[in-house]
Amino acid sequence: DAEITQSPRHKITETGRQVTLACHQTWNHNNMFWYRQDLGHGLRLIHYSYGVQDTNKGEVSDGYSVSRSNTEDLPLTLESAASSQTSVYFCASSEEVGVSYEQYFGPGTRLTVT
Amino acid sequence: AQSVAQPEDQVNVAEGNPLTVKCTYSVSGNPYLFWYVQYPNRGLQFLLKYITGDNLVKGSYGFEAEFNKSQTSFHLKKPSALVSDSALYFCAVRDYGQNFVFGPGTRLSVLP
């Protein structure tokens, strides 16, 4: 079955370190998204991609970057981790086919920055 | 810009009773609306969507939602709640391109 996976599931890092969160989908979807989930804020969009070599900033992109070198993967990099980036991160993918627009989510990565 | 409101942080309902989780939206153009559920330590799972057609949309696990254009609402409903329905529920609206805007979430507790 097609799926979307994230790794690691949990990560503790120190302030100032570079961190990369992996996202891999086997749906063959063109669209991929990164969100962060914080109490009281719901899900906020960090970056998104509509295809290989395409990346775009979302609502809360400062301090984050992404790259899309193939259809399956959209890694999220925190350039210099800050305590404010402690959060749960979700990757999602979608494909606009007919009336199918829904996004499919990975299990999440809980990141703690100390 | 599109926006979604979920006016209740928490909804409590007794098992076997009907449940409603409220969602209102603000969009320019035709709304594409979605409901997702999140169980503890899990990702979001798609429940149902309204794109066009019938105002009553049926989805997974016995859930349904009613689209009301005049009230700009898309409330999630279930005729008989189960304890296992206890979770966090998110309403979302399609924004520009393929992007979604999510509401803040409503925590549903079904009491035995």
Q: How many CB pairs under 8 A join A and B?
A: 51
What's the angle, vertex CA B104, arms to CA B98 and CA B106, rounded to 5? 120
pLDDT in the model for residue A41: 79
Q: Region B63-78: what's the mean pLDDT?
A: 96
Q: Cβ-count burial of A114 within 10 angstroms (0-12 exposed, 13-18 middle, 19+ buried)?
A: exposed
- Residue B90 to residue A48, Cβ atoms within 8 A: no
Length of chain A: 114
Q: Which residue has the higher pLDDT, A19 or B40?
A: A19
Judged by a CB distance cut-off of 8 A, whether residue A51 touches chain B is no
- For B105, the closest chain A residue by CA position comes to A42
Amino acid letter for position B66: E
Handedness of CA B25, B30, B32, B33 (dihedral sign): positive
Contacts of residue B96, Cβ cutoff 8 Å, sequence gap at least 6: none
The minimum CA-CA distance between A68 and chain B, rounded to whole Å, is: 17
- Residue B102 to residue A50, Cβ atoms within 8 A: no
Q: Region A89-94: what's the mean pLDDT?
A: 96
Amino acid letter for position A88: V
Question: Quick one: which H or E segment has residue B46?
Answer: strand B44-50
pLDDT in the model for residue A98: 66
CA distance linking residue A33 with residue A5, whole number of Å: 13
3-state secondary structure of B40: coil
pLDDT (tens digit per residue) in A54-87: 999 999 999 999 999 999 999 999 999 999 999 9
CA distance linking residue A42 with residue B67, whole number of Å: 22
Name the pLDDT band for B95 (thresholds 50, 70, 90): confident
Question: Is-contact A94 B100, C-beta < 8 A?
Answer: no
